Amino acid sequence: MSPAPGALRSQTRKQEECEKIYLLNARIAGWISCRLNVNASEDKPNFFQKNISNNKTLR
């Protein structure tokens, strides 16, 4: 027994929606990890040094 054409179509539409959401999430995740890599590749000691000096000036 094959499902009704309408049911099959809505199933395909659902799958397409899921794929769109998945691709969007993948794009966002890719962007975030890219930003994290950029931040990580920057001079770490320099970054921490900046934070320490900022903390001293705040006190």
Query: Which residue reads 């899921």 in tokens?
Result: 18
Res. 59: pLDDT tops 90: no
pLDDT tens, position by position, 35-54: 888 776 655 556 566 666 66
Cβ neighbours of residue 3 closer than 8 Å, sequence gap 6 or more: 11
The SS3 of residue 37 is helix
pLDDT of residue 47: 59
pLDDT tens, position by position, 16-34: 999 999 999 999 998 888 8
CA torsion through residues 9, 10, 15, 19, sign: positive
pLDDT of residue 34: 83
- Domains of the chain: which residue ranges? 5-58
Residue 20 CB burial class (10 angstroms; 0-12, 13-18, ≥19): exposed
Rounded to 5 degrees, φ, ψ at 11 are -65, -45
Evaluate if pTM is beyond 0.75: no
